[in-house]
Amino acid sequence: MYGKGLRALSISTVVAMALALALVFFYAPLEAEQGFLQKIFYLHVPLAIVALCGFVLGGLLAIQHLRTRDPRWDMRSYVVIHMSLIFGVATLITGSIWAKGSWGHWWVWSEPTLVSFLIVFLLYATYQPLRFAIEDPERQSRYASVFAVTAGAFVPMNFIAVRLSTAYLHPRVLGSSSNLPGPMKLTFTVSLLAIALLFATLCKYELTAKHTRQQVRALRRRLAREGDAAPRRGRSAVPSLQGVSAMSAPSSGRTGL
């Protein structure tokens, strides 16, 4: 079941988040140039990394869907992209808050890192409307997977293009130019782990909820099969698991994601 291991994952996330917050505010030293404002980076950068990795993961899951035609992979891809969008919103807001505090502007259009992230975010913002625009579930899942694969390939290309550009303002946290001291590196690593765990937990919650909902619908259809009032699935952007017996558990040996 999708819900298997959810409790352990949730507890791990809470512990990791508490540890990360404690390290950020009581252990990591103040940065010389930015002072206390730099604490935003322990939240903003992991959010951005996890969101971008989520977009790529959504593409990989979509490849699996196109290979196997199993709607469960489409559901996983949908949920991961959906969650990455939420994390993307958080990245943009926290980034803007930091920019206001550091640069005095909410947004700097000449900064490639900011604009490129916004482009990626807006690209994925079209994913849900695309799904909703196609009524046939089979076509919807196929087209959405093609979109997810194409957009997923665009994410690392975009990242590399920004890295190659020379005129940037955005600080580099990771890479050859970064010189994070030990306590800051440890704090950043724990924060990244905590945000990644939060992402995985919320994805698992979403998958479990959607799977349970499909099971309830399947049960309703089964009970109403004698009557003529069998509920018909309306237009929805959410993938359908009707073809794979929603009453059954997902394939054994697989994790929730």
Partner 1 sequence: MVALVLGDTPALPLHTAGKYVAAAYIVVFAIVLIYVAVMSIRLSHMERDLGELLALSEQTAPEPAAAAMAEPEPESVLP
Minimum separation from the CB atom of position 61 to partner 1 (A): 21
Minimum separation from the CB atom of position 34 to partner 1 (A): 6
- Residue closer to partner 1 by CB (options 66, 108) is 108
Residues that bind partner 1 (CB under 8 A): 30-37, 39-40, 43-44, 47, 86, 89-90, 93-94, 97-98, 100-105, 108, 110, 167, 169, 198, 202, 205-206, 209, 212-213, 216, 219-220, 223-224, 226
Minimum separation from the CB atom of position 189 to partner 1 (A): 18
Residue 59: how many CB atoms within 10 A of its CB? 24
* Residue 3: Cβ-neighbour burial (10 angstroms; 0-12, 13-18, 19+): middle
Residues 6 or more apart in contact with residue 169 via CB below 8 angstroms: 103, 108, 110, 111
Minimum separation from the CB atom of position 197 to partner 1 (A): 13
- Residue closer to partner 1 by CB (options 31, 70) is 31
Residue 53, CA atoms < 13 Å, CB-side half-sphere: 13
Largest CA distance in the chain: 73
DSSP 40: G
